[in-house]
Amino acid sequence: MRKRLTKNEKHQVLDILDELYPNARAELNFRNPFELLIATILSAQCTDVRVNKVTEEMFLELKVPMDYIDLGEEALENKIRSCGLSKSKSRNIIGACEKMLSKYDGRVPETIEELMELPGVGRKTANVVASNAFGIPAIAVDTHVFRVSNRIGLASSKNVEGTEKDLMKAIPRDRWTKAHHQMIFHGRRVCKARSPLCEDCLVSVLCLYYINGVGK
C-alpha cells in the first residue's frame, strides 16, 4: 500500500487539475468583500446555489453593516432561514457587523487573524475571504478540499488543521488559492463523497485512493 506521493507527483496532480479546471473560482456570488463575508458565513452547511438564491435579493436591500444592525436578528433570521442554522448565522452576522463598525470603520478587515476575531468567522471562512476578496494566498479546507486532497495524497491528515498544513507544504504559495478552487470543483463534479467517479477521473493514475484500491 502506497502512503505518499512524491513532490513531483503532487505537482503533476496540480497540473492535471489546472487542465481540468482552468477557470475554477468561488461559486458564491458577491460584488465586494462585505458581501463575500456574509455569503461565506451563510454557506456553512449549505450549498452555494442556495446561498446565491438568498443573497440575490438580500444584497439589493442590505448593503453595509449598519443595514443588518438596523434590520435586527429576528428579521434577518427570517430572510436567511432556508440556508439553515439561521438563528446562529443571524446572530453571528450582526455580531460581525457590530465589530466591523466599532473596530474597522465599517470595513472588512484584511488579515486572516483579524477576520478570525469576527463572530462566526473560523479559519476556513477567513481564508476564503482573505484569498477571494483581498488576493492573499490561502487554502480554505472545506469538506471537499479535505476529502479530495486526502484521497489523492496531496495531504495525509485526519483533521482540517493538519490538511491545511500539508497542502501549504505540497502546493507552491502562488497556486494555493487556485488549487483550493480546483479541488472544490473536482470534489463537486468527480471526486464525490459517496461514490467518486474514479473510472472517469484523470487524476486516477496518481491518486493513492485509487491506486491502493480503497474504493473498490
Residue 193 engages ligand SF4 in binding (rule: CB under 6 A): no
Least distance CB 6 / ligand SF4 (angstroms): 17
48 is catalytic: no
In SS3 terms, the chain reads as CCCCCCHHHHHHHHHHHHHHCCCCCCCCCCCCHHHHHHHHHHCCCCCHHHHHHHHHHHHHHCCCHHHHHHHCHHHHHHHCHHHCCHHHHHHHHHHHHHHHHHHHCCCCCCCHHHHCCCCCCCHHHHHHHHHHHHCCCCCCCCHHHHHHHHHHCCCCCCCHHHHHHHHHHHCCHHHHHHHHHHHHHHHHHCCCCCCCCHHHCCCCCCCHHHHCCCCC
Q: Site for ligand SF4 (CB under 6 A): which residue of 151, 178, 180, 181?
A: 151
124 is catalytic: yes
Q: Site for ligand SF4 (CB under 6 A): which residue of 69, 101, 136, 198?
A: 198
Least distance CB 17 / ligand SF4 (angstroms): 9
Residue 21 engages ligand SF4 in binding (rule: CB under 6 A): no
d(CA 201, CA 148): 12
Residue 17 engages ligand SF4 in binding (rule: CB under 6 A): no
- Looking at 42-50, 85-93, 176-184, 204-212, which segment touches ligand SF4 (CB under 6 A)? 204-212
Residue 210 engages ligand SF4 in binding (rule: CB under 6 A): yes
Closer Cβ to ligand SF4, 100 or 203, answer by number: 203
Residue 24 engages ligand SF4 in binding (rule: CB under 6 A): no
Least distance CB 188 / ligand SF4 (angstroms): 12
Residue 153 engages ligand SF4 in binding (rule: CB under 6 A): no
Q: What are the catalytic residues?
A: 124, 142
